[in-house]
Structure 1
Amino acid sequence: MVDPKGFLKVRTRHELAERPVAERLKDWRDVHQSTGPGPWTAEQAARCMDCGTPFCMTGCPLGNLIPEFNDLLSRGRWEEAYERLSLTNNFPEFTGRICPAPCESSCVLSIHQPATTIKLDEQTIIDQAWSLGLVKPRPPQRLTDMTVAVVGSGPAGLACAQQLTRAGHTVVVYERADAIGGLLRYGIPAFKLEKSLLDRRLEQMEAEGTRFRTGVEVGRDLGWDQLRARYDALVVAIGSTEPRRVDLPGRELKGIHYAMDFLPDPTRKLMGREPINNIDAAGKDVIIIGGGDTGSDCLGTALREGAKSVTVLQIRPKEPSSRPDDRPWPTYARLYNPTSSMEEGGHYEYAVDSLEYLGDGSDDRISLDQSSAPTGFDRDHEGRVRGVRVVDVSRDDQDRIVPHPETERVLPADLVLISIGFAHPETATLTGQTGIGLDPRGNVARDADYATDRDGIFVCGDAGRGQSLVVWALAEGRSCAAAVDRYLTGATELPAPIRADERAMTLPVAGRRPR
């Protein structure tokens, strides 16, 4: 360590400065003023305590060597810091920007001070490595005669493909969209993850030998069994894309969409491609059902499109600002941490449940008249949503939702975005064409080594785990690659940070129960 008392000398945590709200709402660029190293970088890294037992590493499924790269960062040894970070993480520029950093919840320093800036340190190292030309293709020294198809190009599929390519196998990644990246491409707005970061990684992977096929929907354009017959192994990394539904009365009204129907088009326009769904928030009263990260992304997107108003409904109470008693260190605690989009505008309503979608022609329970109707609404637009009936709620001792009828009210809306997560992967063609098994939650069933009940077919990421974090997807992709390599060759030197049956270091959280 440069200074074993660094955490005593520097007690404040430094965050990257963001551009003024009025400025950043006019474009889709990164919300931060800069992402390179600053005068604070070394001293912030020196706050790392180099703990005898680094609990931060147990909070990270990748097993990132956090004290080691923090020490190297504090010394300004960029190449060594990059090499140490790259030992465990294929794409730290992604996790450094969009991961909620469970490692920081496990930081020992966070018991009595703000946690070490692990996430920002990671981002700083990789950004500097790119600027210094340290990130180069790493093609295999020799090629095997084995071939692998990876279906899905999200973080799990890309990590798996890169690891297998570097092991010498011929890897082809299939993606049904017109561009590689999965949710990294079309699900996360550019103001959180600029697509040039993804593009340069894909260039590196192509230089290493990974091949990409876009616009191919396996199961429709090419059969799953056909694909398995062509390759020595098949990896299913299709994510969890079947949305959880809010089928309230009035769901048939126009103007009600899932978040993932709304988010891709702005990115498509930035890429010079035609929008697909043509859902625009400009001039509209927008209601977003769901207050998680995706809801925040919808908020920032709607504000940039010029929404008249945006209201985000969250069924949970507002998160606490400090760790609650039932989330003891070093488990992950969900705390109130406003996103950049939340700071840009909009209004959050907490502990609120949605009851009904209301449109023109609804009975007199709707409290809107024509003069207060959403912008652009007129009597010729019957069949469109114009309001959402909501109610305040609480939970009883058995964690059941209890509505407070006297709080029922109607919020104006002519665009409703449903953003409450994903239920399971889309598996109709996969199961129909291969007979592959599913688990009780609808995910692709697998053993602890990522193997399905069909020989030579493996599954990783959200398709097998269920909806999770990008850092878990990367860890699964790396581990699945090791399992595939062992299946093909009988042994492997690829790292496998987690088993498929491992879960996050957290306490059980009661989910939403039926009323």
Structure 2
Amino acid sequence: MSDRMRPIPIGKLLDGIFSEYFSSGAVFGVSPAFRGDPARAVPLPGGGAEVPLGSAAGPHTQLCQNIVAAYVGGARFFELKTVQTLDGEALHVEKPCILAEDEGCNVEWSTELTVPQALDEYVKAWFVLKILSRELGLGSEDGFLFNMSVGYDLAGIRSPKIDGFIEGLKNAAALPVWSDCMEAARALLPRLHNVDEAYLTTIDPRLCASVTLSTLHGCPPREIEAIASHLLTEKGLHTYVKLNPTLLGYEFCRETLDAMGYDYLVFDERHFLDDLQFEEAVPMLDRLMDLAAAQGRAFGVKLTNTFPVDIVRGELPGGEMYLSGKALYPLALALAERLGRVFSGSLPISFSGGADAFNVRALCAAGIRPVTVATTLLKPGGYQRLSQMAKLLSGLSCPDMVDPAAVTALAKAARTDAHYTKPAKPAAPRKLSAHVPLLDCFTAPCKGGCPIHQDIPEYIRLLGEGRQAEALRVILDRNPLPHITGSICAHPCAAKCTRAFYETPIRIREAKLAAAEGGWKTVLPEIRPLASRPDLKVAVVGGGPAGMAAAFFLARGGAAVTLFELREALGGVVRHIIPHFRISPEAVEADAELLTQLGVDIRLNTPAPLPEKLFDQGYTHIVLAVGAWSPGELPLEGSPAMNALDFLGRCRAWGALHRRPRRVAVIGGGNTAMDAARAAKRLPGVEEVSIIYRRTRRYMPADLEELELAAKVGVELKELLSPVSWHNGELTCSLLELGEYDASGRRIPVETGETVTIPADLVVAAVGERVDGETLAAYGVASEPRHGLPIVKAGTLESSAPNIYVAGDARRGPSTVVEAIADAAAVAEAILGASPVPHRPLPAGRRGEAMLKKGILQEPRSPRREYERCLECNTLCETCVGVCPNRANVAVVVPTRRMPQIVHIDGLCNECGNCAAFCPYDSAPYRDKFTVFGAAADFQQSSNDGFVLLDPIDRLVRVRLDGVTIDTTLMDEDSPLPSGIQELIETIVTDYSYLLY
């Protein structure tokens, strides 16, 4: 496998484009196509664009198919990828070179093709767009513009290589590739309806009348001005000069990024000192504007170039990467604000620095145009994100000049806009633990990330259709605690949700609660055992979430179940400790009703007998679900801290606290610490509540929403403090600082030798609880010595004592409700000898509907409307297809398979790594998906599973599967290939032959 892309011949391109379109309505996977309105074209230097929007110089304008896909998506202005004298094999780009999971980063800069190859690609793209616009009715054939991009010094731009590139784009008529395009188009005419020979002869060979100058960091002002002058006068081109964010100065950039949550980005003053200075830029831009006016050309600036930051966590190879996307947006706007103010709006500004569907209309309305994008297109939805942006701009009346006041307002808003600021905590790992399969890899990552594998897209759809009872039935198949999990679930599913790469995850927990509340009266009377198992009598010890869930699954499976609970009500920590402002008692009682409906014998205020007595009473199995109530240890000199669970329990009865504190310090960083702090804040007489944590908020284990809720009620977070002693109302802490990065990418807190004293009348320790070893021992359950956790069999959770099982916190230590349910399901399956999940037909997704949601950014709705945002990944994933700028991952429709199959096209891949970042599996599609090779030599050099067509006449193929290579013909009835792989290869060779270039 090579990291060098191979341009597709123009004949293959045209054949592939129209074969795909006529069969599926898509072009390079992009559907539906955006249709421009020629009557509303926006004037730009060199012509008019149906919308002043397009793709920036970068991965989306490197190959012909990239530009075509962008056009179909809605782009009408194309800043072609920068060329320089260093090109092709001589230009070494470390791979992977792109990381766009959140803010964008890259280590690539100019085209990886040779300059002549790049010229050919752009001519091919121009020709294809001229045909597509007419044949498919996507707009005027003159409704789009190409803008060349060159760098990086005057000598290189004047060289024959780059000068020939410039002249070729100014007029391509004499180029061999122009003749090739014309010949291939003529061969295609019999398949077309709206394009004929006469039209082909009218296609204008003048591709570019404008240029964007890209300069390296450190380029002297005189050099920049000399290049721009050369382009304006000697080349006669409308000229944009791309400026660097370093014009803003180190202090401004550091303070802005820190305030917006990007304090972890590392950069120094080096580039700021070496680059063009603002006071140098202004007179230079003045002179260039005058020169352009004298030449009858347009001159403006492009904001901005990418921002260099150090690579310190191994994000990408090398020592420096370039920042883009949402982190660049406030800097680009700040520079636009300064320039707009200095030039009173007379300096034209083209924009590319974190533009997306949330800001593109406001940018253009402020007089900034055209707007080009790259990072947003590297995220799920890919080129289809352009459609929403294009529709937002269609018909927009853009002012002739930049509006400084509007830009100032945008710049101010950007610094606090949640779309562009960094969350206080990094996102949880989004990858599933599974490896991507070769076939049928579409998956809903929310379901895979859920410990009980809830059928989330299915019940989201049912709820959205107003079928709450049906949605609840689907939930109850796997989740017997819908009200509890709908209120306080840690929702690991949301951490995996692909929607998070758009704006925010689907509100899955809230949707579950809406289904539970809306469908409860209908569904509760239906609950009954699904079987009868007179041979099974089970004692469940403990009435918390694990015990309740185990009792539900076992009773539904037909077992006779007795549930022993020491307290007066079921619910465990959820009922007796977690504050009412997080979950009401009524929610717990509703889920407890399910057990009564199933006939569970619930014995409250009743300690369970020891195992010998239980077995003597005829119980066949025992499930220990006794929680983890033993307090964790916090060594403090002086007075001891109060345990958080004890404190939360007492908060329910204020009189249970012996004294009323005025200042409370909570030590810990988890959700229990947040609960304790918020509960303390509600106590009469409490004035100050602080959370003490030894790291920063970025590394706190608490959920971000819990942290934000604590801050909202006035809880103060005191970071980088390690408690030492508590004497006479004063908590003394060691002051820490962040040191080097550890293997996980977190910075290690280290001692500074200083201490801090915090007034505290009460100190609460939320440092975790432990399993009660005495209870386990009383039931004959052996524990491991280090953490005191019970030793259980994998899968069944049976302990060292026969027929005694352990579930929930008693097995794991403090954990989540949904993990407790997962344990309960595993125990029930082991006891019942069958899965406790009934087989229910699930609603079938609609691929066409799911496709329409791709690329559309929208804010969360009410829980019942979240279906409108749900991407239905159980029906349509194809994430790797969307995020690949080169279209190297393709969805192939195999007639015998329910869903399209993803294959990787070796010759189109430059191993940028973008698909690896977004594939929901712990995999990289460009290495792990079935690969189509164009030549035997490429096949030989790769280790990917895949095939190469050796002989198209005899249909001889060479296939590699699991490291084993097989030569076989597709007509061979005794082929050694698995049927699914055989069918996939046959489909590609027969219906997707254009992929075999």
* TM-score, length basis structure 2: 0.38
User: Would you say the 8 A contact 1:437–1:452 is kept in 2?
Assistant: no
Q: Which residue, 522, 525, 533 being the options, matches 1:133?
A: 522
Q: Secondary structure at the match of 1:52?
A: coil
For 2:629, the equivalent position in structure 1 comes to: 241
Q: Which residue, 291, 303, 310 being the options, matches 2:689?
A: 310
* Cα 1:468–1:435 shift into 2, 3 Å: closer
Q: Which has the larger radius of gyration?
A: 2
Instruction: Give the drift of 1:262.
Output: 1.2
Distance 1:205 1:239 in 2: 19
Moved over 6 A (4+): 7-11
* Cα 1:506–1:177 shift into 2, 3 Å: farther
Q: Which residue, 462, 467, 485 being the options, matches 2:809?
A: 462
* Cα 1:355–1:67 shift into 2, 3 Å: same
User: Would you say the 8 A contact 2:807–2:820 is kept in 1?
Assistant: yes
Distance 2:543 2:702 in 1: 30
User: Would you say the 8 A contact 1:259–1:418 is kept in 2?
Assistant: yes
Q: How does 1:394-473 map to 2 (within 5 A)?
A: 394-397=737-740, 401-406=749-754, 408-422=755-769, 424-432=770-778, 434=780, 436-438=782-784, 440-448=786-794, 449-473=796-820
Instruction: Give the drift of 1:160.
Output: 0.5
For 1:194, the equivalent position in structure 2 comes to: 584
For 2:715, the equivalent position in structure 1 comes to: 346
Instruction: Give the drift of 1:189.
Output: 0.8
The residue type equivalent to 1:179 in the other structure is A
User: Would you say the 8 A contact 2:671–2:703 is kept in 1?
Assistant: no
What are the Cα deviations for residues 472-513 of structure 1, in whole angstroms up to 9, with x where unaligned? 111111221111222xxxxx24239xxxxxxxx999xxxxxx
Instruction: Give the drift of 1:136.
Output: 2.9
For 2:542, the equivalent position in structure 1 comes to: 152
User: Would you say the 8 A contact 1:444–1:452 is kept in 2?
Assistant: yes
Q: How does 1:60-79 map to 2 (within 5 A)?
A: 60-79=450-469
What are the Cα deviations for residues 392-447 of structure 1, in whole angstroms up to 9, with x where unaligned? 213544576422223x121111111110112x310214314525344642111101
Distance 2:611 2:471 in 1: 42
What are the Cα deviations for residues 260-284 of structure 1, in whole angstroms up to 9, with x where unaligned? 11112344x5xxxxx8x91267452
For 1:375, the equivalent position in structure 2 comes to: none
Unaligned stretches of 5+ in structure 1?
A: 12-50, 270-274, 322-331, 360-385, 487-491, 497-504, 508-515
Q: How does 1:141-290 map to 2 (within 5 A)?
A: 142=532, 144-218=534-608, 222-230=609-617, 231-252=619-640, 256-267=641-652, 269=653, 278-279=656-657, 282-290=660-668
For 2:368, the equivalent position in structure 1 comes to: none
The residue type equivalent to 1:223 in the other structure is L
Distance 2:442 2:597 in 1: 40
User: Would you say the 8 A contact 1:99–1:469 is kept in 2?
Assistant: yes
Q: Secondary structure at the match of 1:442?
A: coil
Distance 2:659 2:526 in 1: 41
The residue type equivalent to 1:419 in the other structure is A
User: Would you say the 8 A contact 2:669–2:702 is kept in 1?
Assistant: no
Distance 1:348 1:435 in 2: 41
Does residue 476 in structure 1 map to residue 823 in structure 2? Answer: yes
Instruction: Give the drift of 1:311.
Output: 1.0
Looking at secondary structure, tell me which structure has more helix per residue.
2
User: Would you say the 8 A contact 2:674–2:702 is kept in 1?
Assistant: no
For 1:45, the equivalent position in structure 2 comes to: none
The residue type equivalent to 1:239 in the other structure is G
Q: Secondary structure at the match of 1:404?
A: strand
> Which deviates more from structure 2 when the two are superposed, residues 430-439 or residues 188-197?
430-439
User: Would you say the 8 A contact 1:246–1:418 is kept in 2?
Assistant: yes
* Cα 1:464–1:246 shift into 2, 3 Å: same
User: Would you say the 8 A contact 2:552–2:594 is kept in 1?
Assistant: no
Instruction: Give the drift of 1:228.
Output: 4.1
State the identity %: 27
User: Would you say the 8 A contact 2:736–2:752 is kept in 1?
Assistant: yes
Instruction: Give the drift of 1:192.
Output: 0.5
> Which deviates more from structure 2 when the two are superposed, residues 413-422 or residues 278-287?
278-287
For 2:445, the equivalent position in structure 1 comes to: 55
User: Would you say the 8 A contact 1:136–1:204 is kept in 2?
Assistant: no
Q: CA RMSD in A?
A: 3.1
* Cα 1:433–1:146 shift into 2, 3 Å: closer
Distance 1:76 1:248 in 2: 55
* TM-score, length basis structure 1: 0.71
What are the Cα deviations for residues 101-131 of structure 1, in whole angstroms up to 9, with x where unaligned? 211111112123211222221121112112x
Distance 2:525 2:751 in 1: 57
* Cα 1:72–1:439 shift into 2, 3 Å: farther
The residue type equivalent to 1:351 in the other structure is L
Unaligned stretches of 5+ in structure 2?
A: 1-30, 33-380, 390-440, 839-919, 923-997
Distance 2:548 2:468 in 1: 25
User: Would you say the 8 A contact 1:356–1:388 is kept in 2?
Assistant: yes
Q: Which structure is richer in relative contact order (CA contacts within 8 A, separation 6 or more)? A: 1
User: Would you say the 8 A contact 1:105–1:333 is kept in 2?
Assistant: no
For 1:392, the equivalent position in structure 2 comes to: 735
Instruction: Give the drift of 1:225.
Output: 3.3
Q: Secondary structure at the match of 2:697?
A: coil
